[in-house]
Amino acid sequence: MIRKYSIGRPIETGSVVSKFPLSEGTPKGLTLQEGSTFVISLSDTAVVYGLGETVRGINKRGWKYISNCSDDPNHTESKNSLYAAHNFVLILDKEEATGYYFDTPEKVIFDIGYTRLDQMAVTLTKGDAYIYEITADITGMNTMAGAEDSSPRRVVRQFRQMIGRSYIPPLWAFGYGQSRWGYRCRKDIENVIAGYEEADIPLDSVYMDIDYMERYKDFTVDEEKFPQFGEFVSEVKKKNIHLVPIIDAGVKIEEGYDVYEEGVRDGHFCKKEDGKELVAAVWPGRVHFPDFFQEKTRKWFGEKYDVLLKQGIDGFWNDMNEPAIFYTEEGLTEAFSRIKEYEGKNLDIQSFFDFQSVVGSLNNNPKDYARFYHNYEGQKIRHDKVHNLYGYLMTRAAGEAFRRLSPDKRILLFSRSSYIGMHRYGGVWTGDNQSWWSHMLLNIQQLPGLNMCGFLFSGADTGGFGADCTEDIVLRWLAVSLYTPLFRNHAALGTRDQELYRFVHKDWMRGLIRLRYALIPYLYSEFMKAAFRDDLYIQPLSFVYTEDERARNVEDQLLVGESIMIAPVYTQNATGRMVYLPEEMKMLRFAGDSLVEESVLAKGDHYIPVSLKEAVMFLRPGHALPLAKPAKTTAELDLDHLTYLTFNARPEDYELYRDDGITPVKE
């Protein structure tokens, strides 16, 4: 049952697609305290889920999270905000679940047992929102035959139904992808492909970071570094490999550059109070930001992707769309004049730090977000009031355009910044993590929340983006990303080489990637069923084993699809780990893609050794797992001949989903 409430004067975000009558007053389960703070008490046993892409554990209790899309590459547990604003929480107390969705672009503070251990307080910082209260009772709702049932899943399914079906990528997007910030030219990319070929490691995509562009200009390709780009794309395509370029939010200011000139001419850029375009700086130096809040701008910018589609490109990642700002002209001028004030002065302890912060606080400065405006449905709205929608609307522009420009072919699309609603147009990657073990755990812990919020197509930079990786972290991370729909190895400029063929134990890595390809019929079926049924592809144990108290505390094991539970090793030098089985399960041990052990384990705790070249998963009773023969690319997978691993089930009991993997799915 869903009840919709309205507080203040909410701005329409477009995140909800179903219509609901407004209920009087405020949500029954929440108490409205001073201003716009909604409070609910949490019993000792209650677990709070949701919030999508954010810091900390699967259970969000014990911290303060702020929805404020931020370009912050330090995802430590001390942070309050990452790139996204996913304002959905689900409280599971005993076996009863209730969900709340705060649909508003403003900053929302989720104080979940931070100020008081026994209460959640949600503060709307401006006080304008639609609030949806979702209970598990599903009278009148489509019962979703085929899906398992539980109170939290009923809440999630209703929520997902109301926000619309999740984005569905092409099948090849489930293959393995290699990326790195620093591939400068055609040769670099050819070398990567050759490296994978020589090492005989499967590969479906290579990502192109900002260096492919001409002076970082969106929708251009540097002719010198990438001569005959279209031809190159089709040559690579002959090997069934897809090139996936990055698109940044900022448009370079440069005379003669069509995107800039059309944007100015037709009023597509964000303007300041004085009616002039905001000048900010990002990669290309000075840029303007498209006003994606205007429908005409979304249409215009979206059509621009066609320049690349026409050259055979069929996937994109949208970056820097919080939007990230290095500085604005005004900010820079102010900083220089403040620096001058310090010149010749004796900088004591306080003034020295102030001085230092003048430059340090130039980027992503909240003051800059208050310097420009959007034109939204006939209203002029200051950016800071709708900041959290910017990345969503950029990606929506692309997603909407692809429906027109590519009606017969699905296009891969994912974004760094997002808001709920964007899940209908593209997926997300979780941004600039580090090659840290703690970030592998964070990756595991972000997945259930992302799934609840509709972002089924998601994944982290495998191996870690910032900092130098080690061979063992790459191996262990491969064994985590094995299960995430987006499986991309990405690393930052200046960090240690991270392509798999560079490592001593590339044969172990090959084995794990081959296992991924063997799993694709399963992963794809589970993904598609989750999308069609508004269900979860990855979920916490407690969503199935609701009556099991232990399951509610499990923070490092997940259910992936209907058949398997995973328990990855995420600590360095560990040769195994403890695993909790909420019921009897069949352990499947793979060394690379060969099954080396199958054994039935009783409900309870087990120490499971897992070497660096292995992946272990647990098959649930009454379930089956289809496997394909691994291939070099998804295009070469033989999906007609699958083998099944079963546990008290027959292969026919498994509901396999198949399609051509490319034709867009009807809404």
Q: In the complex, which residues of this chain contact ligand MIG (CB under 6 A)?
A: 181, 209-210, 246, 319-320, 416, 431-432, 490
Q: Which of 134, 90, 83, 84 is nearest to 112 (CA)?
A: 90
Q: Which of 259, 232, 258 is nearest to 245 (CA)?
A: 232
* Beta carbon of residue 324, minimum distance to ligand MIG (angstroms, whole number): 6
Amino acid at 417: S
Contacts of 17 (CB under 8 A, 6+ apart): 162, 163, 164, 424
* Beta carbon of residue 211, minimum distance to ligand MIG (angstroms, whole number): 8
What is the C-alpha separation between 558 and 566, in angstroms, rounded? 5
Contacts of 652 (CB under 8 A, 6+ apart): none
Nearer to ligand MIG by C-beta: 428 or 637? 428
Contacts of 218 (CB under 8 A, 6+ apart): 247, 248, 251, 252, 259, 304
Query: 639: which 2 tokens?
Result: 């999906």
Nearer to ligand MIG by C-beta: 176 or 216? 216
- For tokens 């992936």, name the residue: 560
Query: If DSSP states are collapsed to H, E and C, what string results for 2-69?
Result: EEEEEECCCCCCCCCCCCCCECCCCCCCCEEECCCEEEEECCCCCEEEECCCCCCCCCCCCEEEEECC
* Beta carbon of residue 434, minimum distance to ligand MIG (angstroms, whole number): 12
* Beta carbon of residue 83, minimum distance to ligand MIG (angstroms, whole number): 8
* Beta carbon of residue 302, minimum distance to ligand MIG (angstroms, whole number): 21
| H helical segments located in 422-555 | 437-452, 471-481, 506-532, 549-552
**90 bridge partner residues:** 49, 99
- Residue 49 has φ and ψ, to the nearest 5°, of -110, 170
Nearer to ligand MIG by C-beta: 326 or 524? 326
Nearer to ligand MIG by C-beta: 98 or 205? 205
Nearer to ligand MIG by C-beta: 314 or 319? 319
Nearer to ligand MIG by C-beta: 108 or 246? 246
* Beta carbon of residue 325, minimum distance to ligand MIG (angstroms, whole number): 11
* Beta carbon of residue 462, minimum distance to ligand MIG (angstroms, whole number): 12
What is the C-alpha separation between 159 and 20, in angstroms, rounded? 12
Q: Are 395 and 413 in contact (CB under 8 A)?
A: yes
Nearer to ligand MIG by C-beta: 72 or 103? 72
Cα end-to-end distance, the chain, whole Å: 23
Nearer to ligand MIG by C-beta: 29 or 73? 73
* Beta carbon of residue 180, minimum distance to ligand MIG (angstroms, whole number): 8
Nearer to ligand MIG by C-beta: 71 or 111? 71
What is the C-alpha separation between 552 and 545, in angstroms, rounded? 8
Question: Taking CB positions, which residue lies at the least distance from ligand MIG?
Answer: 181
Nearer to ligand MIG by C-beta: 416 or 514? 416
Nearer to ligand MIG by C-beta: 102 or 414? 414
* Beta carbon of residue 364, minimum distance to ligand MIG (angstroms, whole number): 11
Query: 303: which 2 tokens?
Result: 């059509």
What is the C-alpha separation between 638 and 366, in angstroms, rounded? 52
* Beta carbon of residue 470, minimum distance to ligand MIG (angstroms, whole number): 20
Phi-psi region of 326 (alpha: psi -120 to 50; beta: other; left: phi over 0): alpha
* Beta carbon of residue 558, minimum distance to ligand MIG (angstroms, whole number): 24
* Beta carbon of residue 281, minimum distance to ligand MIG (angstroms, whole number): 12
Length of the chain: 667
Using a 10 angstrom Cβ sphere, with 0-12 exposed, 13-18 middle and 19 or more buried, the burial of residue 624 is buried
Nearer to ligand MIG by C-beta: 433 or 546? 433
Query: 261: which 2 tokens?
Result: 């000139």
Strands (E), 278-321: 280-282, 285-288, 315-319
Nearer to ligand MIG by C-beta: 248 or 535? 248
* Beta carbon of residue 283, minimum distance to ligand MIG (angstroms, whole number): 7
Contacts of 348 (CB under 8 A, 6+ apart): none
